[in-house]
Amino acid sequence: MTATLSIEARTLVTEAVERMLAGYDDETGLVLWGAERKPALRETLYTALGLLILGRDPGRAARMVDAVLDLQLLAPGEIWHGCFRHRPDEPRPSTGGAFLWKAVISPISHGSAFRPGTPGPFPQSP
């Protein structure tokens, strides 16, 4: 089953998928992207979604999603458990010291600076 798209939308998705597939690596199941042609997880998932929207090669789309899911960071008890790196060659986060990021408001966008733990426009984490 394919999505119902306007001619313009179908053209855009088709061109994007074709461009991404030019970097597809059949060995890893990932799209190689950027000037260095490194495996890129987000781009791989975009390509898989495009294939499914177009009703093309669902087997390859499934292999691409599986390849990305195989790279999920699994570390029960760590705050980053279940996350993904942007690229498979990025280092794993350190264990036992990671902390949840809090919003820090930019003085440029809000006129004054806020430091973690000081009152600001967002509720503080417990």
Listed by start position, the domains of the chain span 1-94
CA distances from residue 123 to 80, 90, 110, 111, 116 in whole angstroms, order as listed: 22, 32, 16, 18, 11
Q: Is the pLDDT of residue 121 over 90?
A: no
Q: Is the pLDDT of residue 17 over 70?
A: yes
pLDDT digits (tens, 9 = 90+) for 29-54: 999 988 889 999 999 999 999 999 99
Q: What is the pTM of this model?
A: 0.71
Whether the Cβ atoms of residue 71 and residue 39 lie closer than 8 Å to each other: no
Task: Please give the residue that has the higher pLDDT: either 65 or 5.
Answer: 65
Whether the Cβ atoms of residue 47 and residue 21 lie closer than 8 Å to each other: yes
